[in-house]
Amino acid sequence: MVEEANKIIYSMMRVSKYYDQKPVLKDISLSYFYGAKIGVLGLNGSGKSSLLRILAGVDKDFNGEISLSSNYSIGYLAQEPELESEHTV
């Protein structure tokens, strides 16, 4: 288990995202170790949701590179999920 704790399972290298030629994310590089817990803070419109969509593999329209170690997956729940009206909670 100690080996797993030191293992980088996700990396993002020089990732940028633009909307109408305006940068929302610019040259973001980060890595996550196995078992990491993260939080994303920022002002409205600062790119938090864009970052998480890229991280989850939902948004593939970006510049840069991402790497996820084999045998791992990332779950994603949209900020405003599309729900079926005939079902109840």
Residue 88: inside a domain, yes or no? no
Is the pLDDT at 2 greater than 60? The verdict is no
Instruction: Give the pLDDT band of residue 3 (cuts 50, 70, 90).
Output: low
Give the pLDDT confidence score for residue 87 in this predicted structure: 81
54 domain residue, yes or no: yes
For residue 56, tell me if it sits in a domain: yes
Q: What is the pLDDT of residue 6?
A: 80
Domain for residue 83, yes or no? no
The answer to whether position 87 is within a domain reads no
For 39-81, write each residue's pLDDT tens digit: 999 999 999 999 999 999 999 999 999 999 999 988 888 888 7
Mean pLDDT calculated for residue range 33-44: 92
Residue at 41 is within a domain: yes
Domain that holds residue 49: 2-68
* Distant-in-sequence, close-in-space partners of 61: CB < 8 Å, separation ≥ 6: 17
Nearest CA-CA partner of 68 in 84, 55, 49, 51: 55
Residue 75 is predicted with a pLDDT of: 87
Question: 80 in a domain, yes or no?
Answer: no
Q: Report the domain count for the chain.
A: 1
What does pTM read for this prediction? 0.81
